[in-house]
Amino acid sequence: MSTDQTSTIQISQSAHQGGQAGKPSETREHWYLEPDGALRARVSNLKFWYADGTQAIDDVSMPLVDKKVTALIGPSGCGKSTFLRCFNRMHDLYQGVKYSGSINLLPEDENLIDLDANIVRMRVGMVFQKPNPFPKSIYENVIAGLKIRGIRKREVLDEIVETSLRQAALWDEVKDRLHQPALSMSGGQQQRLCIARALAVKPEILLLDEPTSALDPIATAKVEDLINELSGNVTVLIVTHNMQQAARISNYTAYMYLGKLIEYNDTNDLFQRPKCQRTEDYITGRFG
Amino acid sequence: MRPESSGVQVSAHFLRKRETVNQIAKYVLMAAAAISVLVTVGIVYVLVSEAVVFFEEVSVWEFISGTSWTPLFAVPTFGILPLLSGTIVVSGIALGVSIPLGLTLAVYLSEYAPDKVRETVKPILELLEGVPTVVYGYFALFLVTPLLQIVFPDLPGFNMLAPGLVMGIMILPYTTSLSEDAMRAVPNSIREGAYALGYSRFHTAVKVVIPAAISGITAAFILAMSRAVGETMVVAIAAGQMANFTFNPMEGAATITAFIVQVSMGDVSHGSVAYMSIFAAGLVLFLLTLTFNLIGFFLRKRYRQAY
Ligand SMILES: Nc1ncnc2c1ncn2[C@@H]1O[C@H](COP(=O)(O)OP(=O)(O)OP(=O)(O)O)[C@@H](O)[C@H]1O
Ligand SMILES: [Mg+2]
């Protein structure tokens, strides 16, 4: 793929021009939309290597639109989680990993890769693929992030606990057992608790790694409602295996394949008029 | 083509054989469990029955309230308090050294140290575990005490401070290694959850990893405590063997175990009251460690968490 462009704007323009030049869509390798709205971040030529030398992200460039939901789709092992975890520098916990390229936060124009990882994580929240509540009470789980931000007033904490749990569609189930261990809950409840825990600190960017894969259809619908509510307030980047879900909840969708970004487009356009053959194969189920 | 649904055929012979093995395994395991229970009961029986003979000669009240312990004197006295105070002071110093040091080291090894450092330090600690306790005893007597005497010129050659400190180092491998194991058993996903909320390394260790590992860490300290209370050689060598009712670590004293070796290696005749007294002292030691283990058991039950 072309790596000599200095910014993604040029890449996307050249893709447009390529299209105008009458190239058939079947041979188009990549296609990136340049969205209208304000951006929260711009990823440029991001590459990532694990300690064993595996390159899991290969030259990905894409915008992240402010206060909108962006979905990441792609076959298992294509690097979606790896990409997501670059945004809160989760990889830094392990020795020997390597980044190149940048994730520029806008409008402040700071490269997130160069910032202090703790500062980044204060601003970027995350819900993991597997529920990971702390072995503490439900209440303590929700306030875990607030305590290290110096919020200690009981009334404030109580209020945030209730709103966060309501947002995560968990309040009615746990309001009478807030002080029981989180690990006594079902897997789906634990995942919603993790969502509440992430929401409680009001992150600027929220990363969700298949947040509903452990949930039943009712809880999934509630979480999807929540994500719809969040758009407009928070910038959300969500990984999902469920294409209907991506279509329902996201404004923009990125399709990844083997560590590369194949297509980034308006969600409706990507699912109805994919620009690349690979995207079409994937969303029509001919592959993956 | 539809897959066969009749299942894999299993022969009756195979099932019978499997059942036999199952039964045999059950009885072998039951026998092993029974033996360990019987041995424990036997030990307790010997301790208690000999102690009962002792308490026919010496009143229980004299034993638990007397402040003088001189079983080998012409006019013997049998107050356990001096031995108890010695045991408490020496173990207390040892734990005072070992708990903070061991926990800090464990947090460092588990949460901070690069793999290479951990892989170097852990074997060294385990090596420390293999040093004979006699060596530690002479180390306390001939090196630590003289060094301490530079700071405290009045410190006698036999004192409880030096063996206490040395014992703290001696049990460091237990506290460190076991609490480190407990912390490393905390799944990474929980650590990642903490970091994702903006926790620093230190906060993650103190607020999330240690609480999650608390049952293992408690177990480590209980074990260390039993070790300290039951330790013999270091104290027998470096604290003198004079029972002394004091809580001042700058004085020499004897502990329960130090007294027991002293008597059993001496020429006290079997059946004498002095000889019996080691069973009474042993019973106290047994009750002491039993109490610690019970405390540990309840603490662990309280904090038990499954991941
Ligand atoms: N810790 C690691 N060390 C080395 N390689 C890794 C590591 N974690 C993931 N990988 C590799 O990186 C690639 C991308 O993995 P990643 O977990 O990002 O995929 P994914 O798209 O999230 O898949 P899934 O949909 O199954 O969750 C895979 O080929 C995987 O084998
Ligand atoms: Mg994944």
Q: How far is CA A194 from CA A132, A148, A211, B210, in A?
A: 7, 17, 9, 20
CATH of A28-129+203-283, one of 3.40.718.10, 3.40.50.300, 1.20.120.160, 2.40.50.1070: 3.40.50.300
Res. A12: pLDDT tops 60 = no
Q: Is A79 in the pocket of ligand 1 (CB under 6 A)?
A: yes
Name every chain B residue with its beta carbon within 8 A of the beta carbon of A181: 305
Return the closest-CA partner of residue B229 out of B157, B174, B284, B175.
Answer: B284
Mark whether B113 and B168 lie in a shared domain.
yes
Interface predicted TM-score (ipTM): 0.86
Residue the block writes with tokens 């069973």:
B279
Query: How far apart, in whole angstroms, are the C-alpha atoms of residue B297 and residue B288?
Result: 14
Query: How far apart, in whole angstroms, are the C-alpha atoms of residue B282 and residue B276?
Result: 10
Query: How far apart, in whole angstroms, are the C-alpha atoms of residue B240 and residue B235?
Result: 7
Res. A244: pLDDT tops 60 = yes
Return the closest-CA partner of residue B208 out of B110, B119, B279, B139.
Answer: B110
Beta bridge partners of A261: A256
Residue the block writes with tokens 């303590």:
A140
Query: Looking at residues A132-139, what average pLDDT do you find?
Result: 94
Q: How far is CA A139 from CA A152, A208, B126, B214, in A?
A: 13, 22, 41, 20
Residue A287: the pLDDT is 63
Hey, what are A7's tokens? 């910014």
Residue nearest to atom 22 of ligand 1 (CA): A81
Query: A134: nearest CA in chain B?
Result: B190
Name every chain A residue with its beta carbon within 8 A of the beta carbon of B192: 90, 93, 128, 132
Contact: A93, B208; criterion CB under 8 Å: no
A186: CA distance to ligand 1 center in Å? 26
Name every chain B residue with its beta carbon within 8 A of the beta carbon of A128: 189, 192-193, 196
Residue A18: the pLDDT is 39
Mark whether B25 and B157 lie in a shared domain.
no
- Out of B25, B41, B57, a domain closes at B57
Query: A86: nearest CA in chain B?
Result: B196
Hey, what are B137's tokens? 């005893």
Mark whether B148 and B38 lie in a shared domain.
no
- Phi, psi (5° rounding) for residue B118? -60, -40
Query: How far apart, in whole angstroms, are the C-alpha atoms of residue A32 and residue B203?
Result: 41
Hey, how many other C-beta atoms are within 10 angstroms of the C-beta on A153?
Answer: 9
For A95-150, where are the alpha helices, taking DSSP H only? 117-123, 138-147
pLDDT digits (tens, 9 = 90+) for B223-232: 888 888 888 8
pLDDT grade, residue A160 (50/70/90)? very high
Which domain, by its residues, includes B20?
12-57
pLDDT digits (tens, 9 = 90+) for A257-275: 999 999 999 999 999 888 8
Mark whether B122 and B256 lie in a shared domain.
yes
Mark whether B188 and B230 lie in a shared domain.
yes
Residue B71 in domain:
no
pLDDT grade, residue B216 (50/70/90)? confident
Residue B303: the pLDDT is 62
Q: Is A72 in the pocket of ligand 1 (CB under 6 A)?
A: no
Mark whether B103 and B30 lie in a shared domain.
no
Mark whether B23 and B117 lie in a shared domain.
no
Residue B26 in domain:
yes
**Residues whose CB falls within 8 Å of the CB of residue B146, separated by 6 or more in sequence, listed in order:** none
Higher pLDDT, A255 or B75: A255
Ligand 1 pocket check: which of A48, A81, A260 to mutate, most ligand atoms within 8 Å of Cβ? Answer: A81
Residue B77: the pLDDT is 87
Higher pLDDT, A108 or A288: A108
Return the closest-CA partner of residue A193 out of A132, A152, A129.
Answer: A132
Q: Are B133 and B94 spatial neighbours (Cβ–Cβ below 8 Å)?
A: no
For residue B3, say if its preceding peptide bond is cis, omega within 30 degrees of 0.
no
Query: Looking at residues A53-67, what average pLDDT do you find?
Result: 94
Q: What is the CATH number of the domain that holds B208?
A: 1.10.3720.10
Mark whether B34 and B178 lie in a shared domain.
no
Q: Are A236 and A267 spatial neighbours (Cβ–Cβ below 8 Å)?
A: no
Residue the block writes with tokens 């890449």:
A11
For residue A107, say if its preceding peptide bond is cis, omega within 30 degrees of 0.
yes
* Segments making up each domain of chain A, as ranges: 28-129+203-283
When divided into structural domains, chain B yields a total of 2
DSSP H or E run through B188: helix B188-196
Residues of B with CB under 8 A from a CB of A: 114-115, 187, 189-200, 203, 207-208, 211-212, 305-307
Query: How far apart, in whole angstroms, are the C-alpha atoms of residue B70 and residue A213?
Result: 73
3-class DSSP state for residue B251? coil
Alpha carbon of residue B124 to chain centroid: 20
Hey, what are A164's tokens? 């966060």
Contact: B192, A181; criterion CB under 8 Å: no
Residue A13: the pLDDT is 37
- What one-letter code names the amino acid at B254? A
Ligand 1 pocket check: which of A46, A50, A237 to mutate, most ligand atoms within 8 Å of Cβ? Answer: A50
- Phi, psi (5° rounding) for residue A72? -110, 120
Res. B11: pLDDT tops 60 = yes
Hey, what are B60's tokens? 């229980």
- Phi, psi (5° rounding) for residue A205? -125, 135
Res. B267: pLDDT tops 80 = no
Q: Are B69 and B77 spatial neighbours (Cβ–Cβ below 8 Å)?
A: yes
A35: CA distance to ligand 2 center in Å? 26
Hey, what are B301's tokens? 């039950």
- What one-letter code names the amino acid at B275? Y
Query: Looking at residues B70-99, what average pLDDT do you find?
Result: 89
- C-alpha angle B132-B137-B142 in degrees, rounded to nearest 5: 130
* The dihedral sign for the CA sequence B178, B301, A145, A224: positive
Residue A11: the pLDDT is 32
Antiparallel, parallel or unpaired: β A235-239 and A205-209: parallel
Q: Which of A88-92, A172-176, B6-10, B58-62 has the lowest mean pLDDT?
A: B6-10
pLDDT digits (tens, 9 = 90+) for B132-177: 989 999 999 999 999 999 999 988 989 999 999 999 999 998 889 8
**Residues whose CB falls within 8 Å of the CB of residue B273, separated by 6 or more in sequence, listed in order:** B54, B57, B58, B71, B76, B78
pLDDT grade, residue B1 (50/70/90)? low
Average pLDDT value over all residues in chain B: 88
pLDDT grade, residue B3 (50/70/90)? low
Hey, what are A3's tokens? 């790596």
Res. A250: pLDDT tops 50 = yes
Hey, what are A152's tokens? 């200690």
**Gap between the terminal Cα atoms of chain A:** 22
pLDDT digits (tens, 9 = 90+) for B224-260: 888 888 888 888 888 888 888 888 888 888 888 888 8
pLDDT grade, residue A253 (50/70/90)? very high
Mark whether B274 and B136 lie in a shared domain.
yes
A134, A148, A194: residue with CB nearest B198? A148
* The dihedral sign for the CA sequence B167, B168, B170, B174: positive
Residue B164 in domain:
yes
Res. B218: pLDDT tops 70 = yes
Ligand 1 pocket check: which of A78, A86, A255 to mutate, most ligand atoms within 8 Å of Cβ? Answer: A78
pTM, two decimals, is 0.80
Residue nearest to atom 24 of ligand 1 (CA): A76
Res. B81: pLDDT tops 80 = yes
Residue A95: the pLDDT is 87
**Gap between the terminal Cα atoms of chain B:** 43
Q: Are B253 and B244 spatial neighbours (Cβ–Cβ below 8 Å)?
A: yes
pLDDT grade, residue B101 (50/70/90)? very high
Q: Which of A62-71, B82-91, B193-202 has the lowest mean pLDDT?
A: B82-91
Beta bridge partners of A43: A62, A103
Residue the block writes with tokens 């323009």:
A13
Mark whether B31 and B146 lie in a shared domain.
no
Residue B100 in domain:
yes
For B130-160, where are the alpha helices, taking DSSP H only? 133-139, 145-151
